[in-house]
Amino acid sequence: MVGIPKINSAKVMKKTEMTYVGIDFSKEKFNACVLVEDEIIAECELENKRCGFHKLTCWLKKVTGHGKSLDPSQVVVCGEHTGTCSTELSEYLYGKGYIVWLQNPVEIKRSSGINRGKDDRADARMIAEYAYCHYKPGKTILFKPDSNELKELRSLYMYRQSLVRERVALGNQIKSRSFDTSPLAKRSMASRYRKMQEEEKSLQDEIVRLMKGSEEFSRNYAILTSFKGIGPITAALLIVFTGNFTKFASSRKFACFCGTAPFRQKSGTSIDKKPHVSHFAHIGVKSALVQACRAAIRDNGPIREYARRLREKGKHEGVIMNNVKNKMLHILFKMIETQTFWDAGHQYRKEAAKSISGVTGRSSGMVKYEMDEDYRFVAYLDGRGLLGTEIEKIQQKNENIHQKIWK
């Protein structure tokens, strides 16, 4: 630990002021900078372990001039989200009642202007200034620790993904036949490949067991897997990266995160590009959604119909896949929001109820109907039966309703 510097008594905060603390994390240590009214009042460097966390809270009480009367809810601690290096201290401070804000490092870097030099102390100052300028109570998305079950699910999912990558790499080596000249190497690789498949299967079973047996995940897991095309691994991915659908306010925000939301670039008369997806995205999540997309196009009637209509319009296959991803995310987020299981015919029934009364003059609740595999209406019947002219009028609206839903 570096010695705690002397405090500038002229800059000690008043009780009504907010304190902004910038933290620059590293594996072994972290640097802290305290900012009050755009003035730095103290800086220090501490060990990134439990004893250093306790020293930080004691130091904050001293440098702010409040001692034990310091209100943690008046202290904003901001840092870069660097994974495991930043999580432990953030959870400790959150437990003590401090306002903890972990921001994307790119966002802080691009908001800090031109910086020609770089060291840990300067980075802590930059982060403190960023917090002072950009923190907005009620709007800023603050840090909240994940539950133990979510941490366990994330660990299982991430380990399975790393195992899948290793298995695929090993499979490619086997297919290349580079080791066929050595029978021992060939047998060893085949044995290792089978063991990895077995381990991968056991991990998937454990992931499913955890989600089904958890009060936190079981409902959302059942809702997600009711959608044809979403299997247990894709459901685990969505739960892990959305924090069980608590970290993103809408499907559009999650689409931005995983890189499926298109953005247009236009400036003056020289730049006018068509909407394209951004490369500022989580490529792992984006690529994992591809398999779910293909499964939905194959097995899910409305999604298959949506993709077919895009092909008829002459859309490129990449555009079709991206649009299907966005359509799926929109549907899945709405299902979670309303806690509703997937019902392919729900929207058709809703639209039909609006039009049947006007066509037949009867209550829509009296009318029953059937749908084919593409969810088009094929019959309308009530207890007394409908007249032939009524059936014809309804069938004329059939295609209009179908096109309206999946435009």
Ramachandran class of 333: left when φ > 0, alpha when ψ lies in -120 to 50, beta otherwise: alpha
List the chain domain ranges: 19-134, 344-406
The DSSP secondary structure of 10-51, one letter per residue, reads GGPPPTTS-EEEEEEE-SSEEEEEEEETTEEEEEEEEESSHH
- What does the pLDDT read at residue 67? 73
Distance from C-alpha of 244 to C-alpha of 42, rounded to nearest angstrom: 39
- What does the pLDDT read at residue 355? 54
Mean pLDDT of the chain: 83
Over 80: is that where the pLDDT of 361 sits? no
353 falls in which pLDDT band (50, 70, 90)? low
Burial class (CB in 10 A: 0-12, 13-18, 19+), 133: exposed
Average pLDDT over residues 4-17: 48
- What does the pLDDT read at residue 393? 55
Q: List, for residues 137-158, the tens digit of each pLDDT value.
A: 988 999 999 999 999 999 999 9
Q: List, for residues 51-92, the tens digit of each pLDDT value.
A: 999 999 999 999 987 777 889 999 999 999 998 899 999 999
C-alpha triplet 342, 327, 318: angle, nearest 5°: 135
User: Would you state the structure tokens that stand for residue 40, as one six-digit string?
Assistant: 């730095």
Main-chain phi, psi angles of 192, to 5 degrees: -65, -40
Buried b (16+ CB within 10 A) or exposed e, 41-74: bbbbbbebeeebbeebbebbbebbbbeeebebeb
Over 90: is that where the pLDDT of 329 sits? yes
Q: List, for residues 239-279, the tens digit of each pLDDT value.
A: 999 999 999 989 999 999 999 999 888 888 788 788 888 88
Give the right CATH number for 19-134 from 3.30.420.40, 3.30.2320.30, 3.40.50.450, 3.30.230.10: 3.30.420.40
Distance from C-alpha of 14 to C-alpha of 222, rounded to nearest angstrom: 52
